[in-house]
Structure 1
Amino acid sequence: MDTPITDQRMFLVTYHSADTVVLAVHGEVDLDSTQPLRLALDEAARYGAGPVVVDLSGVLFADTTIVNTLLRARSGLGERLRLAAPSWPVLRLLRILGMGSVFAIHTGRAAALRDGPVHV
């Protein structure tokens, strides 16, 4: 079932299929808007054993809050957590913070669902 969740600045859609979860994030992700993403990642950790893909292609702005949220999720999800198509603001932030080797980063959703962990 697809579940849209909105915040004033962020829009999150969750897709479930078999044992896979895809979270598509759009808009601005910061301290005031990250709670829906945090809750969705917590729920995904309890859902199946397959990959949890966070599609970041629609993120227009992000601060370190998104990195902290993803790091927290990675501690529970491990290699199941995969980032797909991070937008330039997210990719820049991950690179500045040296997080390219921490997260499995893929070029798109299909690659994240198909391939195992890849780091940039």
Structure 2
Amino acid sequence: MTSDDGTVDPGVWRALESRATQGAKEARVAVLVQLVPPAGVPEGSGDPGARLTTLERETEELQRDLMEHLDRLGVTSPPRTLALANAVAVELTAEQIRSVAQRPDVRRIVPAEPKHVAT
């Protein structure tokens, strides 16, 4: 069930295996699909709202092909765009993960796990 090129984090495969052993018919796992290149925050001292709008437009353009690919794969959970990271949060099956991992615009697929940051 693994990917040899390192695009898919091993934690993704472990999460899928765990769901499959729990009896899920078609196991899905929440992942972050990180794209290349990372989106950049426009430089300048202009209006922060305008800079954010520019970043969101740039990210939407960078992610358009991936979103269409997810639609063709029949992804049922709505993907969520993460503009600052140029990533997409989505639930995928093993087959869908393999397909997405082969795309040249995908840098990494990692588990979408909540992280606790100690302060």
TM-score tier, shorter chain, comes to under 0.3
Structure number with larger C-alpha Rg:
2
More strand by share: 1
More helix by share: 2
